Structure 1
């Protein structure tokens, strides 16, 4: 009997001056480096699988919002920036033999017109979306299959 897991969906935030949807389109794939929140790390390490869908979200910019689609394209592996003293994401407590931080690679799927937060908030179908909750600051959040279908089927057309 097959125990195939259903595809999961995620919203992954990136600051456009660090890694934008255009950067991803140009390079094709990017490692999702620099996550330093345990819950977001655990999503990548424990739950993400190759083929999972990603809403690529621009954050900490004049107009935050969903800028395109990507797909998880690697198994989780240690984030090399944790070991690099020159990196903004260096973690002196993390050791190569016992890494603290993980990442996955994401592959470009497509760019969309920006779907800003106010536009997401307008739709009852997205009312429970994690990114819209007050106080949510996680850089990676799960997206339900229904939210994914609504965004990709109605808002990205």
Structure 2
């Protein structure tokens, strides 16, 4: 099992939305490096931190788990979708998505607290210039973020 951090803007898709849906596709990834991780490394059973960005309370807000591995992101073929990619070929899709299932909400662990924690200084989230929407998390980093919630 691996650990991941998936970023989302809560105005678009939040941990509350995921809880209501229970299972949702994680679509719209349009960065090749993030796509490659999702396509090649994200597996069923992997644990995911849901991270809210571009909002008032930026940080880790919940946990999900991967329930379906990478498959073609159908939004790339929909001209009415903001994720439409006219260069993507249905015979060789450029973009993929995975399905995740809600596990639980967490007490917010803010980006500021994560950055201030020496045990998390190598986490991709806090590295300069790293703006990927999907990032790996080590087991030690996972456990440290959980500890920071005060729930575990």
Answer whether TM exceeds 0.5 for this pair. Answer: yes
**One of 124, 133, 138 as aligned partner of 2:118:** 124
1:155 equivalent in alignment to 2:138: no
**One of 79, 82, 93 as aligned partner of 1:85:** 79
Shift in Å, 1:40: 0.4
Question: For residues 39 and 80 of structure 2, what CA distance do their matches in structure 1 show?
Answer: 24
Q: Tell me the residue number matched to 1:136.
A: 130
Q: Tell me the residue number matched to 1:95.
A: 89
Question: How many aligned residue pairs are there?
Answer: 150
**Deviation per CA, 1:109-131, whole angstroms, max 9, x where unpaired?**
10012111111112111111100
Question: For residues 89 and 62 of structure 1, what CA distance do their matches in structure 2 show?
Answer: 25
Q: How does 1:1-157 map to 2 (within 5 A)?
A: 7-152=1-146, 154-156=147-149, 157=151
Q: Which runs of 5+ in 1 are unaligned?
A: 1-6
Structure 1-normalised TM-score?
0.93
Question: Pairwise CA RMSD of aligned residues?
Answer: 0.8
Q: Which runs of 5+ in 2 are unaligned?
A: none
**Deviation per CA, 1:91-110, whole angstroms, max 9, x where unpaired?**
00002111000010011010
Kindly indicate which of the two structures has a greater share of residues assigned to strand: 2
Structure 2-normalised TM-score?
0.96
Question: For residues 17 and 131 of structure 2, what CA distance do their matches in structure 1 show?
Answer: 23
Runs of 4+, deviation exceeding 2 Å: none
Shift in Å, 1:134: 1.2
